[in-house]
Amino acid sequence: MPTAVVLGVGPGLGLSMAKRLAAEGFDLALVSRSADRHAGYVEALGGARASTHACDVRDRAALAATLADIGEVDVLYHGPGGGGTPPGPITEVDSAAVRDAMDHWVHPAVDAVGLVLPGLVARGSGVLLFAGGLSSVGALPRWARWPCRRPRRATTR
């Protein structure tokens, strides 16, 4: 069975993605900072094959060890939430706020891709998915007017 890794599984987007991926026939590897809720997440998956892993994705060494433990990855979903503060309006932001946001949301995504992409390229297939739940932290009314488009499928060829 192909394996989907859900980095940042939680009660919202992460668990929803896990349910969808399970319905598509993937074995799951659920990763979050704490194992406290893992039993409930596995139960919510209704019998889907799932392993659980506690890992702070901001710790590159821990992330590398966790992904090595999981093994071959066919789908990587990166959607960690919590922690970090959105930088705010450009007129008020400072470099410390931007560094904090990058350390929580961007750098872990780059690290995760760097760790799984060589395997995806070598096999000639795989999927990288990224999501953010900033709208759960605060309203983003100006984003409502952005057009929704069907995503283009990237290939490794």
The per-residue pLDDT for 92 is: 83
What does pTM read for this prediction? 0.82
Domain membership of residue 46 (yes or no) is yes
Number of domains within the chain:
1
Domain membership of residue 150 (yes or no) is no
The DSSP string of 97-127 is HHHHHIIIIIHHHHHHHHHHHHHHHHHT--E
Which stretch of DSSP H or E encloses residue 13? helix 13-23
Distances in Å between the Cα of 21 and the Cα atoms of 107, 120, 150 are 25, 18, 19
CATH number for the domain including 104? 3.40.50.720
Domain membership of residue 27 (yes or no) is yes
The Cα–Cα gap between 63 and 118 comes to 16
Domain membership of residue 155 (yes or no) is no
Domain membership of residue 153 (yes or no) is no
Q: Are 5 and 27 in contact, with CB atoms under 8 Å apart?
A: no
Domain membership of residue 56 (yes or no) is yes
Domain membership of residue 154 (yes or no) is no
> In sequence order, what are the beta bridge partners of 129?
77
pLDDT confidence tier of residue 141, bands split at 50, 70 and 90: low
Residue 88 belongs to domain spanning: 3-145
pLDDT tens-digit profile of 102-125? 888 889 999 999 999 999 999 999
